[in-house]
Each structure stands twice: as structure tokens, then as C-alpha cells.
Amino acid sequence: MRFKYTLEFDGTKYSGWQIQKNSKTVQGTMVKCIRTMLDETKGKSGYGDFYGSGRTDKGVHALAQTAHLECETMLAPHIQKMKMNDILPSDINILNVERVSNNFHARHSAVARQYLYVISKRRNAFEKKYVWWIKDTLDVTAMKTLAELLKGFRDFRSFSEPDPNNKSTLVDLEFIELTDTEDKIYIRIKASHFLWKMVRRIVGTLVEAGRGNIGAKEIQKYLKSYSKDPAIFTAPPSGLFLEKVFY
């Protein structure tokens, strides 16, 4: 049996999504709670695999991460949701559980992913863990103009950590949208997939553009050939949320 899980989490206290030795991760916490849930089940149950749609870095949050669970259980999806939320810590919450085809794969079946980054224009007593507070006044119009240069099927090698396996750094960035409000700037980015630290480096680069430190010439250079500059601009993880996975 295969079940599709949709969950939200506060990544502040976790070393990312993926299971790691000697580190607290979201996937690791989920696996422990799933085993507890299944062990408590009377009758036939068996634990299989639990896969997410992709990794998130340390400190990054999710509004709707998708994962799938492969197991044999008599528990209906809504019962799984109820039991899991009774077991899980308060910073992870199951939004939905549904039975899916055995062909469904949380990662491989996904056609696109969307991230949200939140920048705060002011010091905030409540949201430090969920925003990047920038004291400088940013030129959002300039940020929007340069964001357009990133759209399309492009090489984002400059916006990612070097991959020892030499995997392709070509990504189809479908859209990037900036919304300016009284005290926040919201940046939404949707793409076929994302490279390691790609969103945070795009955001950091756009912030530098908003500060007036870089322009179209630099953006075009980063896309044409590898540059270490975006790594210097990397935005903190606190303001980043995995917002949606598309299937």
C-alpha cells in the first residue's frame, strides 16, 4: 500500500529534511513516529519506505511538503493523520493523508516545486525565525526587473554548491514573483526542480540588486559562466518555505 502525506513543519530546530546520523531531521522524526504508529496497530502492519519530494536545508520550513509512505496497514488515511498528529512534536503537522497508486513517487512524480521567501522590512518581536530582516531600504522595482532575467531554462551553476557527481545545473525556472507590502517583501519561485541553496542564492542576489550593488550585467554574467559571487549573497534559511509541490 502507498499513502501520500502532505505536511507542514517549522524547520528551525532541524538539520534539514533528510535523515542524517547524529542529527535531528524532519524525515528522521517522521520515520520514528510512523514506526510508533504502526507498532501500536493491532493486526497486520509492516513498515516500508518514507520518501519526501526533495530535501530542505537546515532551518528551512515547509507549508506543504509531500512525502509517500509504503507500508502494509489496516489504518485508514484519516486515522493515520489523527494518530500521527498525536505522536509528532508540535513543530510538525500532518495536513492530509490519502491512498495513492503504487506508481506514485513523492519525488519522481513531481513536475514542479514552489518556494516562498519572506523578507521583513522591520524588526519584529514574533517572526525572527520565519523572516530575513533587512535594515536597508530595497529598490523592489529593480529587484523585479532583474528577476525577469532569471526566468526560463537556464544554467544556475553560479547559484548552487558544486556537485561532486557533476549533475546537470540546468533548471527550468517557470516564474519568479515579488510582492511588496507595508512591512514585507514576498518572493515566490516556481521551477521544475531546485539545486542545493539555489533559492537562497537567488534571493540574496536580488537583495544585492535592491541595494543597488549589482545590475543586469552581473546577473547575465552569473548565468553565462560560473561565479562565486552568489554564494557570498546567500540568504539565511529562516525566511524560506517550501510552499507547494506540483504533480
Q: Report the amino acid identity of residue 168.
A: S
Which of 57, 91, 180, 229 is an active site residue?
57
Cα gap 177→40, rounded to integer Å: 46
Known catalytic membership, residue 57: yes
Cα gap 233→143, rounded to integer Å: 14
Helix, strand, or coil (residue 71): strand
Q: Are strands 2-9 and 61-72 parallel, antiparallel or unpaired?
A: antiparallel
Longest dimension (CA), the chain: 65
Task: Report the Cα–Cα distance between both ends of the chain, in Å, rounded.
Answer: 19
2's enclosing H/E stretch is strand 2-9
Strand partners, 240: 117
16 CB neighbour count, 10 Å cutoff: 20
Q: Where are the alpha helices (DSSP H) in 104-174?
A: 140-147
Strand partners, 125: none
Place of cell 552569473: 222
The set of residues, in sequence order, having a beta carbon less than 8 Å from that of 76 and lying 6+ positions away, is none
Burial of 56 (0-12, 13-18, 19+ CB in 10 A): buried
| Catalytic residue annotation | 57
